[in-house]
Structure 1
Amino acid sequence: MVDTLIEEYTFENFVVGGSNRLAHAGALSVTERSDRRYNPLYVYGDKGLGKTHLLHAIGHRARSEGGLVLYLTAEEYRNKVLWSVRNNEPDYFRARYYSLNFLLFDDASDLGQMEEVQERFFHWFNTLHLDRSQIVIAGSRHPRSMPLLDDRLRSRFEWGLVTEITPPNLETRLAILQAKADAKKVELDPEVLDLIAHRAQTDIKSLEGALNCVLNYKEAHQVKKISFEMAVEALEAVNDRTRRLSLQPDSIIRATGEKFAVPEDVMKGPKRDREIVLARHVTMFLMREGTSPSLAGIGRELGGGIIPQ
């Protein structure tokens, strides 16, 4: 169960700043304290800000101390539930996942879609909590901002500590870039790091992507050291590609779905819950403004649903 932990996602490799300090402290606390003060620990924020890194860091620390750890995403959990139902295996979870020291549950915002899945998770949560297993949950939204989440789960997610990770400020972005450059054994001038930090401001993934873009440019042009001008050229090239890709219908559907916590398959499905309908309408508007397809084309992209005139 612990083999899914990413090797480099440790506390030692996590750069702490004002945007994630409380979440980092909470993550350390659940590995160091036995009183389960923060149970569950719920960490939320946009994608690419380090939530998954913290979950894996907790897992590595707990495993090093002999703990039995399970890292699982909401999608993986949903698939396991559906498998157990289809194969008439009601004891599938109890036999495998009820004797844990740590449950690390990722992408919790994707949980609020199927009543059967939520019901089973509710009972699993209760059992683990009563057994004093540490539960750590990560999601893109605060529990109160998940309209499809069962009220009982929403309440339980707030039992311990709920903490947000926000986009890193400039100082933290520079520290992250320096740490990643050091890990790759690459020396970059301060002005190049500053350029990357100013170009990629939203999340750590975009920072790493921009850094990799600059390093790939260095390798492609076989230069020993990349200049500020070369870094500008490398980032401009990737920005042009990103702008073209960002206007594709599938990327609009995906981005809007993430914003409203509505999965892509639900967006394209027949459900008409208020939050889902709102997400669809925003998607339709962005498609018409950004890609200029026909109404029929938008309908096809959204699974053939009816498009309002």
Structure 2
Amino acid sequence: MKAEQTWRAVLGELEMQMSQASFSTWLRDSKLIAFEDNVFVVGVESGFIKDWLQGRMRNTVERTLAGIVGQETEVSFVVWPESDPIDLSSKIVLPDIVEKTRPSLDVSSKRMMTLENFVSGPENLLAHAASQAISEQLNPAQSPLFVYGDVGLGKTHLLSGIKKGCDTKGFQVHMLAAEAFTNELISAIKAGSGSLFRDKYRSCDVLLVDDIQFFLGKKSSVEELVHTIDQMHARNRQIVLASNLSLKSLSGLGRSLCSRVEAGLVVQISKPSTETRKKILRSKASSLSLDLSEDVVSYLAESLQPNVRALEGVINHLSARARLLGQPVSLTAARQATEHVSGHKASSPSMSSEHIIEAVATEFNVTPSELCSKSRARRLTVPRQLAMLLLKDTAGCSLSQIGSLLGGRDHTTARYSCEKARILLSSDDGFRAKADEVILAINKV
């Protein structure tokens, strides 16, 4: 499939996910400019549109694109005037793997994101079983299903698997991130099409909303979700929510929403044990036809932080070296891949994002909800900077993940906050003492 055809397919999917007003304003006139190094470069008409898409829609676009091409890809938005010619006829063709992984519309969801491909263990068994039950038959008695756990443990995988299973049974399903829900709501309000927005999400059979921690500080979005839950519950329909944070840390969403979530089924996904990590590694390697010795599997399972994305990233790296460079998957290659992908030694399993946020909040006498909110109160600035640095250095979170966890901020803000915290560690004895107390508290968990 040519990249231009792929982008048209992405626009078609996004048009169904978004309101007409929002789609027409931000994406209808976009054009694919280039496809290089697994990055889709998309041209838009103005810097304002570029900044809005980059800041608010990039994750949604990349998720949709990955579902179509069958592999993770990146999107970069640039200003590209209509008058500049675009020649896509010869040089922009997706790799053969895309053709092979998308033989029909049946694989519109992400490759490796079905319930059949989800590797279950004691840490996620109930979440997996509940997801399978919903995909086989809607269960309004356990709605909403709320799945929470640290970054990269498979929450989005489960939601994608539920969507695929319900799609095959003919249910009307909507799956989107909380950020996309908020953006679409804002666009609908501005366009005077709020009723269309409500009808879209309240009339479906299954609604799956990921990353609901993004709703912290967004009163209108929370109220809309509460009403949507009530309407769908009255119709015996299914809602599934996912978050990086527990309900305790999401108390800032308000009692109305939290009480409705508590009335459903609340399930935690914990970090995978060494044995479960070995199962994940073998499953991922098998899907790529990559042979791994038991020594390599054991080394990777024990060396990497218990984050599924990190495990998959190392397998992808080893597969690329074997396929492109003809290098065997030895123990030495595994060590090099681990250093290349993670950039540092794995942290303790107790070093979860939620533990870090709670420890920082306790030390600075604030609440986790305040740290994760949009609030710019001065008393939150320093503790939030420390939290961002610890999330990066001890939990191995990416800058984008850190920004999402702490108020929906972008990666630039997260990077700046980490730099400020490092400066304070080297120059402020009081800050350094508090940081030491936080680290002690985390290590005791």
What TM-score does the superposition give when structure 2 sets the normalisation length? Answer: 0.56
Aligned residue for 1:154, secondary structure, equals helix
Query: 2:198 aligns to what?
Result: 94
Aligned length in residues: 279
Aligned residue for 2:336, secondary structure, equals helix
Q: Distance in 2 between matches of 1:198 and 1:83?
A: 47
CA contact (8 A) 2:371 2:384 kept: no
Query: 2:220 aligns to what?
Result: 116
Bigger drift between 283-292 and 227-236 goes to 283-292
Aligned residue for 1:72, secondary structure, equals strand
Query: 1:130 aligns to what?
Result: 234
Q: Distance in 2 between matches of 1:172 and 1:135?
A: 28
CA offset at residue 68 of structure 1? 0.6
CA contact (8 A) 2:123 2:270 kept: yes
Q: Distance in 2 between matches of 1:181 and 1:129?
A: 41
1:209 aligns with 2:313: yes
Q: Distance in 2 between matches of 1:139 and 1:176?
A: 22
CA contact (8 A) 1:217 1:234 kept: no
Aligned residue for 1:145, secondary structure, equals coil
2:272 to 168, 177, 202: 168
2:144 to 40, 47, 53: 40
CA contact (8 A) 1:6 1:56 kept: yes
2:376 to 265, 270, 275: 270
What TM-score does the superposition give when structure 1 sets the normalisation length? Answer: 0.79
Query: 1:53 aligns to what?
Result: 157
Query: 1:156 aligns to what?
Result: 260
- Runs in 1 of length 4+ with deviation above 6 angstroms? 261-265, 274-277, 292-295
Structure 1 residues 157-180: Cα deviation after superposition (integer angstroms, max 9, x where no partner): 111110100111111111111111
Distance 1:185 1:159, change over 3 A: same
CA offset at residue 119 of structure 1? 1.4
1:25 aligns with 2:129: yes
Distance 1:24 1:276, change over 3 A: farther
CA contact (8 A) 1:177 1:211 kept: yes
Structure 1 residues 32-62: Cα deviation after superposition (integer angstroms, max 9, x where no partner): 3455221111000011101111111111111
Q: Distance in 2 between matches of 1:165 and 1:282?
A: 22
Query: 2:171 aligns to what?
Result: 67
Structure 1 residues 230-276: Cα deviation after superposition (integer angstroms, max 9, x where no partner): 3223333445xx249xxxxxxx9xx979x95679993xx6346x777
Segments of structure 1 that go 5 or more residues without pairing to the other structure are 245-251, 296-309
CA contact (8 A) 2:136 2:165 kept: no
Higher relative contact order, structure no. (Cα contacts within 8 Å, ≥ 6 residues apart): 1
Q: Distance in 2 between matches of 1:111 and 1:264?
A: 10
Query: 2:335 aligns to what?
Result: 232
Aligned residue for 2:194, secondary structure, equals coil
Segments of structure 2 that go 5 or more residues without pairing to the other structure are 1-15, 18-63, 68-108, 346-352, 361-367, 390-416, 428-445
* Superposition CA RMSD, Å: 3.1
Q: Distance in 2 between matches of 1:34 and 1:293?
A: 52
Q: Distance in 2 between matches of 1:127 and 1:237?
A: 48
CA contact (8 A) 1:109 1:261 kept: no
CA contact (8 A) 2:133 2:139 kept: no
CA contact (8 A) 1:108 1:137 kept: yes
Aligned residue for 1:37, secondary structure, equals helix
2:292 to 188, 213, 224: 188
Distance 1:292 1:112, change over 3 A: closer
1:279 aligns with 2:384: yes
Query: 1:300 aligns to what?
Result: none
Q: Distance in 1 between matches of 2:314 and 2:214?
A: 28
Identical-pair percentage: 30
CA contact (8 A) 1:9 1:57 kept: yes
Aligned residue for 2:142, secondary structure, equals coil
